[in-house]
Amino acid sequence: MLKEHRVAKLLSVAWEKQVERKTHYVGRGRGSASRKKRESETIRYHITHIARRGENIAEITKRFGWKAFVTNAVQPRLSLEAAVLCYRNEYRVERIFHRLKSRVHIAPLFVKLNDQIEGLTSLLTLGVRVLTVMAFVLRRSLHNDQAKRPGLHLENKAKMTDKPTAERILKAFSDVSLTIIKNAAGEEILRRLTPLSGLQEELLQRQG
C-alpha cells in the first residue's frame, strides 16, 4: 500500500506479527492418543504505529505544482512564460498532425519527385489550415454569444456543444447536393440546390 500510493518515504509504519496455531486430528472421527495430528497457522499483521516523516514531506511539498520544461530555444527567442503557453497549446499542434495522417491521408504519397512531394504536402497542409480556421471561427462565434448548438453530433443530435470540430461541421452538410442541368451547347439552364436546414444556415452565417 505504501508503494501503491507512493508514500513509502513519507510515512514510518510499525507493525507486529500475530500467529495463531491450532492442532487438528487427521481424518474423521474422535481423537485419540494414537491418531495423527497436524498443526495449522493463521497469521495476522497488526499495525501498531504510523508516523509522518516531516522533513521528507516538507521537501516534496516544495515541488508541488512545479513542472520541468526543456527547450533548445534561447531566452530572447522564448521566455519562460512563452514556453509554458506553447506547451499548454501543444495538443492543438498534435491535432494538426493527427488530421494530416488520418483525415487528409498524407501517407502514403503516390509521387516520387521532390517538387511533387513538397507541393502535395503544402496542399494537404493548406487543407488542414482550412479545417482549423473553420472550427476556430465557429467556436469564437458561439463563445461570443454564449451559445451552444445541437445537431452537430450525428450519433446524438440532441447533444449540445460549443466546441464543434471541423469534421462535424462538414458532416452537417453531407446531405446537401447541387444539380446542374445543361443544354446540348453546354449552357446551364437549371441549377437546383438542396434546401438548407436551419442549422446549416446558422453555421454558414456564423462562418461569415
**DSSP structure class, residue 1:** -
Of the candidates 134, 137, 162, the one whose C-alpha atom is nearest the C-alpha of residue 147 is: 162
Backbone angles phi, psi at 80, to 5 degrees: -60, -45
Least confident of 3-7, 106-110, 113-117, 134-138: 106-110
Q: Please, are residues 134 and 166 in contact by the beta-carbon 8 Å criterion?
A: yes
pLDDT at res. 142: 94
Q: Kindly tell me if the per-residue pLDDT of 147 is higher than 80.
A: yes
pLDDT at res. 200: 94
pLDDT (tens digit, 9 = 90+) per residue, 10-26?
Answer: 999 999 999 998 888 88
Paired strand residues for 179: 192
| Residue-by-residue DSSP string for 54-87 | HHHHHHHHHTTT-------S-TTTS-HHHHHHHH
Q: Which sequence spans correspond to the domains of the chain?
A: 1-25+36-66, 128-207
pLDDT (tens digit, 9 = 90+) per residue, 31-43?
Answer: 677 778 888 889 9
**DSSP structure class, residue 2:** T
Q: Kindly tell me if the per-residue pLDDT of 58 is higher than 90.
A: yes
Q: How far apart are CA 96 and CA 103, in angstroms?
A: 10
Q: How far apart are CA 19 and CA 43, in angstroms?
A: 5
Assessment of whether the complete model's pTM goes beyond 0.75: no
Report the run of H or E that residue 47 belongs to, with start and end. Answer: strand 37-52
pLDDT at res. 26: 80
pLDDT (tens digit, 9 = 90+) per residue, 65-91?
Answer: 887 878 888 889 988 888 888 888 777
Q: Kindly tell me if the per-residue pLDDT of 199 is higher than 90.
A: yes
Q: Terminal CA-to-CA distance of the chain, rounded, Å?
A: 58
